[in-house]
């Protein structure tokens, strides 16, 4: 009983960490997308309520459309990679514990 | 904006998020069951949901490489990974990834996002047709051999020839092959694996059979060693496509959310079935997904202006059929894994209770 309570606690803990990371990703999803869009040089054009990003942008082409040119920052690429590592690790541990808890096991 | 290109990520509503999680779940089931990355279901599924080909491939690469890292460590513990062969292949696979990414961006620069849809679909259809047909052939052979198939796995004449060739200065010892082989034979295999990885996010379909049939690596070691290559190609493709701003991390992580739940059920399912049933499942899913892709091609050709414009109604109907066949493939995948799992568990319980009864009677 004690061991099953301990594994329930561990499952909930890892589930909580994974859920928090998912919450973080989706709370800041616009920022993550902005990072992706501006890894390369991009032209930001406001269109009503929406912001459109264009690539293959040059200062002239962007100015023609009344947009703002944003110079790309290559290391923004590390954001999705770090997120993928963190979520894969925590959610992977959680799902493993979850199925163990439910008693789903491979045939011996 | 003739010269600038709009960067498109799909809008993800609550319904869309749930669909992505479910698609990921089925992809995970299939991937655990057949021991591959499952991207051969996920890439077309993402495209069916509206992601351009390049984004689907980039996003898939991002979702699979952390899973492959976990896989490498797990299977290394069981001694199934030929690290040296994996690393040698990974070097050449990385060259393939670079080439594949260059091809993809060239297509996008010339024909836009829809050009990448067409490019990914075309490579996908050809690869699935070839690999799916081989799988079916293998399935028939293994089924005919019955239980003997599990015991003996002779190496092919090509592998025997490759192992017999000695080219000074190029030889290295492969634990999987249990002999020295020349890395020159590894170059095309690695390159093709990397290229496919960055073209359709499915590299293992070439890498694994390549190691088995061309080099003579046992199947179980080949699939474990391929994970080393998948880490390199997945990470490489994520980085290179990420530099192009093509990785949709939301979509990748929603797919991952479902897929990590599914992968363990799929992996457990394999312990209850025979090898040939796995091959059959793989072939059926591949060929169904391939079939679904065919219905999208006219729409893509229409968008890039390669054919006479088609009526909007026709395009819509074709897309519906394509989506329908795609979902059928996902359903077939889920059904096969679950039915194998439940049937196997039932049989296992019956045989256990039978032997317990016999022991009690003694």
Burial bucket for residue A99 (CB in 10 Å: 0-12, 13-18, 19+) = middle
User: What is the average pLDDT across B10-26?
Assistant: 91
Count other C-beta atoms under 10 Å from residue B228's C-beta.
27
What is the CB neighbour count within 10 angstroms for residue B244? 20
In angstroms, how far is CA A55 from the centroid of its own chain?
21
For residues B73 and B81, what is the distance between their CA atoms, to the nearest angstrom?
9
Look up residue B288 and give its two tokens. 């169904």
Model pLDDT, residue B229: 93
**Residues in chain A closer than 8 A to B67 (CB atoms):** 88, 92
For B268, which of A36, A61, A105 is closest by C-beta distance? A105
Q: Are B89 and B207 in contact (CB under 8 A)?
A: yes
**Of residues B22, B67, B63, the one with CA closest to residue B264:** B67
The whole-number pLDDT of residue B84 equals: 93
The DSSP 8-state label assigned to residue B4 in this structure reads: S
Q: Which residues contact A61 (CB under 8 A, 6 or more apart)?
A: A43, B1, B3, B4
CA B29 to chain centre: 13
H-only helix segments in B146-182? 148-151, 157-164
Pairing of strands B179-182, A42-47: unpaired
Residues of A in contact with B247 (CB under 8 A): 36, 77, 80
Q: Is the pLDDT of residue A90 over 90?
A: yes
In terms of phi and psi (left: phi > 0; alpha: psi -120 to 50; beta: otherwise), the region of A70 is beta
Instruction: Indicate whether B1 pLDDT > 50.
Output: no
Cβ contacts of B351 within 8 Å, gap of 6 or more = none
Distance CA B289, CA B132 (A): 10
Q: Point out the residue among A54, A83, A107 whose CB comes nearest to the CB of B5.
A: A54
Q: Do A40 and B245 touch (CB under 8 A)?
A: yes
| A27 close contact with B: CB closer than 8 A | no
Count the alpha carbons within 13 Å of B303 in the hemisphere toward its beta carbon: 17
Residue A46 CA to residue A67 CA, distance in Å, equals: 7
Residue A47 forms beta bridges with which residues?
A50
Query: Which pLDDT score is estimated for A105?
Result: 67
- A56 and B271 within 8 Å at the Cβ level: the answer is no
**CB-CB contact of B100 with B195 (8 Å):** yes
Of B4, B242, B256, the CB nearest to A56: B4
Taking alpha carbons only, the member of A100, A21, A37 closest to residue A72 is A37
Per-residue pLDDT, B135: 84
CB–CB of A97/A11 below 8 Å? yes
Is residue B196 within 8 Å of B100, Cβ to Cβ? yes
Contact call for B249 and A92, based on CB within 8 A: no
Model pLDDT, residue B281: 84
- The pLDDT of residue B333: 86
Query: B221 vs B143, B207, B228, B250, B306, CA distance in Å?
Result: 22, 12, 11, 33, 45
- Cα(B329)–Cα(B41) distance, rounded to whole angstroms? 8
Judged against a pLDDT cut of 80, whether residue B167 lies above it is answered with: yes
Place of tokens 């100015």: A63
Do B212 and B153 meet the contact criterion of CB atoms below 8 Å apart?
no
B93 with B258: CB under 8 angstroms? no
Encode pLDDT of B77-125 as tens digits: 888 889 999 999 999 999 999 999 999 999 988 888 889 999 999 999 9
**Above 80 in pLDDT, residue B338?**
yes
Instruction: Please state the pTM of the whole predicted model.
Output: 0.89
Q: At residue B241, does pLDDT exceed 60?
A: yes
- Give the mean pLDDT of chain B: 87
pLDDT band at A55 (very low <50, low <70, confident <90, very high): confident
Give the total residue count for chain A.
108
Sign of the alpha-carbon torsion through A63, A67, A70, A72: negative
Give exposure, B159-185, as e/b (b: 16+ Cβ within 10 Å). Answer: beebbeeeeeeeeeebebbeeebbbeb
Write down the mean pLDDT value for chain A: 87
B153: distance to nearest CA of chain A, Å? 23
Q: What is the ipTM of this complex?
A: 0.90
- Indicate whether B310 pLDDT > 60: yes
| pLDDT of res. A59 | 86
Interface test with B, best of A29, A51, A52, A55 (most B CBs within 10 A): A55
The answer to whether residues A87 and B251 touch, using CB atoms and an 8 Å cutoff, is no
């Amino acid at each position: 009983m004690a061991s099953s309570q301990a594994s329930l606690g561990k499952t909930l803990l890892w589930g909580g960490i994974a859920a928090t990371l998912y919450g973080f990703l989706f709370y800041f999803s616009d920022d993550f997308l902005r990072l992706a869009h501006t890894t390369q040089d991009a032209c930001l054009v406001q269109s009503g309520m929406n912001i459109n990003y264009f690539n293959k942008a040059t200062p002239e082409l962007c100015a023609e459309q009344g947009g703002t040119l944003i110079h790309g920052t290559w290391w923004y690429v590390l954001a999705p990679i770090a997120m993928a590592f963190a979520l894969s690790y925590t959610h992977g541990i959680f799902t493993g514990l979850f199925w163990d808890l439910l008693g789903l096991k491979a045939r011996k | 904006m003739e010269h600038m290109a709009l960067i498109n990520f799909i809008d993800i509503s609550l319904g869309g998020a749930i669909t992505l999680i479910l698609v990921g779940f089925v992809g995970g089931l299939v991937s655990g069951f057949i021991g591959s990355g499952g991207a051969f279901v996920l890439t077309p599924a993402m495209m069916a949901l509206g992601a351009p080909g390049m984004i689907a491939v980039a996003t898939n690469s991002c979702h699979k490489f952390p899973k492959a890292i976990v896989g490498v460590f797990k299977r290394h513990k069981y001694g199934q990974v030929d690290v040296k062969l994996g690393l040698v292949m990974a070097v050449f696979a990385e060259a393939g990834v670079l080439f594949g990414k260059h091809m993809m961006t060239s297509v996008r620069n010339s024909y836009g996002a829809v050009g990448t849809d067409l490019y990914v679909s075309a490579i996908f259809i050809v690869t699935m047709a070839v690999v799916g047909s081989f799988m079916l052939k293998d399935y028939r052979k293994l089924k005919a051999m019955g239980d003997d198939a599990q015991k003996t796995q002779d190496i092919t004449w090509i592998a025997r020839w490759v192992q017999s060739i000695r080219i000074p200065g190029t030889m290295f010892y492969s634990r999987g092959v249990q002999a020295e082989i020349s890395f020159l034979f590894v170059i095309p295999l690695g390159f093709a694996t990397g290229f496919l990885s960055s073209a359709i996010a499915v590299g293992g379909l070439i890498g694994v059979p390549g190691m088995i049939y061309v080099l003579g690596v046992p199947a179980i070691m080949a699939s474990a060693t391929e994970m080393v290559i998948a880490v390199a190609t997945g990470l490489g493709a994520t980085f290179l496509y990420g530099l192009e701003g093509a990785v949709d991390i939301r979509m990748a992580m929603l797919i991952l959310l479902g897929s990590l739940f599914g992968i363990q059920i799929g992996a457990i399912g394999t312990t209850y079935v025979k090898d040939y049933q796995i091959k059959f499942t793989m072939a059926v899913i591949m060929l169904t997904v391939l079939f679904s892709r065919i219905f999208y091609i006219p729409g893509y050709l229409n968008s890039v202006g390669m054919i006479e414009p088609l009526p909007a109604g026709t395009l819509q109907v074709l897309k519906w059929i394509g989506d329908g066949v795609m979902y059928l493939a996902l359903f077939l995948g889920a059904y096969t894994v679950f039915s194998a799992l439940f049937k196997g568990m039932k049989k296992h319980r019956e045989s256990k209770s039978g032997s317990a009864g016999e022991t009690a009677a003694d």
